[in-house]
Amino acid sequence: MIDNKLRNIVEHLQMGEITERQIYLNIAKYIKDDKNRSILLNIADEEQKHYDIWKRYTKVEVKPSKLKVFYYTCIAKILGYTFAIKQMERRLNAYQLNEEIGNILANEIPETIDILNDELVHEQELISILDEERLQYVGSIVLGLNDALVEFTGSLAGYTYAMQSNRLISLAGLITGISATLSMASSEFLSSRSEGDKNAGRSATYTGIAYLITVIILILPYLLLPEKMYSSALIIMLTLVVGIIAAFNYYISIAKDLSFKKRFGEMAGISLSVAALSFVIGLLVKKFLGIDI
């Protein structure tokens, strides 16, 4: 028998296990690779075992959270199942490793340690050998994203006070961005091909798509705001740069188990420094060439 406080904790964990099991089963349905699908089904079986252990103490059946199942299934389809699974497991493990909760469980339920070991060791080992295709091309995505953030941010910052017109900045930015996208994709293809990569075309595609999406997002403020609101467009564009860097590095920090703060600081520092330098260069070029647009 367990008291009401402990019962509530165990029921919460019980729901977490059955919810995760359903999420793993949902994701496994659309994975074509036999190895990855088998890994997910094995983890789903682990979650069922943990659920059954908690159930012995609560004496109740618990249904999965439909909202969480829907959320993580959608996230898996959009951002990849590796990211979705690691984010999900990280949140559950954070709850389980809460010192107060851990002490209560360990004192009253002997199986707690075994379950935690399964969650933190066995399941993490299984998750670590998942081989999702999109994560094989993270290097190509980083190349396209990073180059676009540095080069295109600098270009737009330089154009802003040199041209002082959102229409002209948008025109120059689109020409520069599309040309640079094609150039980056071609360079990545040739580089990968020269290294004997059989998937050089796919690497180039990921690089080009990452670059083009970044270009479109950064140029939107100049396209949408009135012609003379170039200062506001610049501020919004720089805010978007920081947002893109934060979002991407959060994704990578979860999916690849890398440091968020270090990578975010490096990318943000480089991109904003180049933007500031390009901004000054734009002012100087306009002044010394005597061009008034």
- CATH number reported for the structural domain that contains residue 108 in this entry: 1.20.1260.10
Mean pLDDT for the stretch of residues 250-268: 78
- Measure the CA dihedral 238/239/243/244, to 10°: -30
Same domain, 97 and 224: no
- The overall longest dimension of the chain from CA atoms, in Å, is 86
Quickly state the pLDDT bin for 293 (edges 50, 70, 90): low
Give CA–CA dist 36/130, Å, rounded. Answer: 6
Same domain, 80 and 144: no
Same domain, 81 and 172: no
- Is the per-residue pLDDT at 219 higher than 80? yes
Q: What is the pLDDT of residues 71-112, one digit of tens each?
A: 999 988 887 888 888 888 777 666 655 656 666 676 777 777
pLDDT at 71: 92
Same domain, 234 and 266: yes
Amino acid letter for position 43: I
- Is the per-residue pLDDT at 1 higher than 60? no
Per the document, the length of the chain is 293
Q: Nearest-CA neighbor of 107 among 232, 2, 245?
A: 2
144, 150, 153, 163, 230 from 168: Cα distances, Å: 25, 21, 16, 7, 10
Backbone φ and ψ of 62, nearest 5°: -125, 135
What whole-number percentage of the chain has pLDDT above 90? 9
Last residue of a domain, one of 105, 134, 163: 134
Q: Tokens in use for 242?
A: 């920081």
What whole-number percentage of the chain has pLDDT above 70? 82
Last residue of a domain, one of 116, 134, 152: 134
Last residue of a domain, one of 134, 161, 189: 134
Q: What is the pLDDT of residues 270-279, one digit of tens each?
A: 777 877 787 7
Domain housing 37? 4-134
Q: Nearest-CA neighbor of 72 among 87, 84, 89, 86?
A: 84
